[in-house]
Amino acid sequence: QPCWREYLTTRIEQNMVVNCTCPISECRAQPTTAFIYSIVASQEIIAKYEKALLRCYVECCSNLTWCTNPQGCDQILLKDGLGYGAACSKCSWISCFNCNFPEAHYPASCSHMSRMTCAKCNHGFCWRCLKPWRPNHKDYYNCSAMVSKAAWQEKRFQDYNERCTFHHHAREFAISLRNSISSIREMPKIRNLTFVLDACKVLEQARKVLAYCCVYSYYNQDTESMDIVEQQTESLELLTNAL
């Protein structure tokens, strides 16, 4: 029993307990949950084991996923029929269920959120931070594609990227402001700041939409529809700035 306890404890701590087999090389038998509970006495190790089982279950279910909030959230979300996603009931973060991008990005499509690639040298780089996808790429700033059309495309990209980055930073400010107001709200003399908190939430959502509108507009080649999109985006931006 002590040998089994040490073996299972090590497998659990190394996150290798799921599908582990008997330590005898010729034996492919797997220890059952009941057997593990009977052998491992530490509640801390058992808790890690149960987390591993839960993680394995979620990863095996196509209609389940973890909340993608980068600040950290252990909530499990149901993907079935939710399209771009729904707000997490625990942290209110809206995840995208159709791609690996960490949050819902409407109106930009999932394909818009993929990495950008230079048509001349095939260098891939991140839309958000401009860092190369391949660290060993040497010619990012010396790409020979910088002819007049490519230069115009780069300027266009920089314009949209600056706007996108600005709205993301402004969104972070709105979140910070909402958190600060939530703290002030706890003070006895200041009781009702709900309307300010609601305004911050609207501001945060508007900045998010404006940021991804930049991505959508950059990729959209339909001139006729883009006139309408740009008009609506400009109107939203003016009202958001006023708020």
Span of 108-117, 127-136, 183-192, 227-236 with lowest mean pLDDT = 127-136
Same domain flag for 159 and 218: yes
**Same domain, yes or no, for 116 and 177?**
yes
Query: What mean pLDDT value characterizes the chain?
Result: 77
> How many domains, in total, are found in the chain?
3
Whether pLDDT at 84 is above 60: no
74 with 117, same domain: the answer is no
Identify whether residues 80 and 147 lie together within a single domain: no
Residue 132 shares a structural domain with residue 194: yes
Q: What is the pLDDT of residue 138?
A: 40
Q: Answer for the pair 144, 122: CB distance below 8 angstroms, yes or no.
A: no
Q: Are residues 158 and 45 in the same domain?
A: no
0.85 exceeded by the pTM? Answer: no
Confidence of residue 190 (pLDDT cuts 50, 70, 90): low
Q: How distant, in Å, are the alpha carbons of 89, 115, 131, 157, 214 from that of 128?
A: 27, 9, 8, 11, 11
Out of 84, 104, 124, a domain closes at 104
* Whether residues 66 and 165 fall in one domain: no
Mean pLDDT of 79-89: 64
Query: Do 44 and 86 fall into the same domain?
Result: no
pLDDT score, position 82 = 47
For residues 98 and 197, state if they share a domain. no
127 plus 222 within the same structural domain: yes
* Average pLDDT over every residue of 172-192: 78
- 203 and 121, same structural domain? yes
The boundaries of the domain holding residue 216 are 110-242
Pair (21, 73) in one structural domain: no
pLDDT recorded at residue 143: 44
